[in-house]
Amino acid sequence: MKLSVVIPAYNEAERLPPTLRRVAAALAGRDFEIVVADDGSGDGTAEAALALGLPALRVLRAGHNRGKGDAVRRGMLGAVGDRRLMTDADLSTPIEDLARLEAALDAGADVAIGSRAVADSRVEVHQPAYREAMGRLFNACVRGLLLPGLHDTQCGFKLFTAAAAERAFARSVLDGFGFDVEVLYAARRAGLRIAEIGVTWRNDAATRVTFGRGARAFADLLAIRRNGARGLYD
């Protein structure tokens, strides 16, 4: 079974190479590919990745910066694995936690999402208090408006079967940070089974998520509801 690891990257020339080496080492002996979805970086991110010479690596370049949602969508739809993992360039969740998500797919789930908000999760380095409070409010809104029963949709560590990835991402349109919710909403509308799995997580102080971008994700929830009412995800 081939595994694709999709990593969205925007101006990640420094953080990305160590991540790629770690992922490749962790998956040694498996049939895998690493797909870097470069979101129009201007710092040589793609060149830094390719300079490693990893045989399992592909880089998909965008002509200009469109947003994380667009990068992940291009990566997941451009991947060829039977299972497709999306993870962040900073590896806030260690690649070793992949086994937890794979166990959920082995048990019958179509999608397994890493979570910082269920009983067996472990947050080793917390976000600033204001961001954690905003995250809790956001996820409460997600549960109330779109995805009851899911407690953390924003952890960037998610595993899809190939069929689930193609079904959910092909219908997504959001390019901002609300794309996670949209993809999971499309998956649930399609009747796909979503498992929420506790993972280890460490906040990276160099995160790309600004307060303004996080706030705009609240508006994305209303856009998803409107799109759902129009049948966009059916």
HSE value, Cβ hemisphere, 13 Å, CA-based, for 161: 17
Phi, psi (5° rounding) for residue 190? -85, 0
Token code pair at residue 213: 């971008």
Token code pair at residue 75: 């990566």
The 3-state DSSP class for residue 146 equals coil
Sign of the dihedral defined by the CA atoms of residues 85, 172, 190, 142, in that order: positive
d(CA 98, CA 102): 6
| Catalytic center residues | 180
d(CA 214, CA 120): 26
Closest CA to 36 of 22, 164, 26, 17: 17
Helix (H) or strand (E) holding 73: helix 68-78
User: Crossing angle for the helix pair 162-169 and 179-189, nearest 10 degrees?
Assistant: 110
> Rounded to whole angstroms, what are the CA distances from 154 to 11, 117, 208?
21, 11, 14
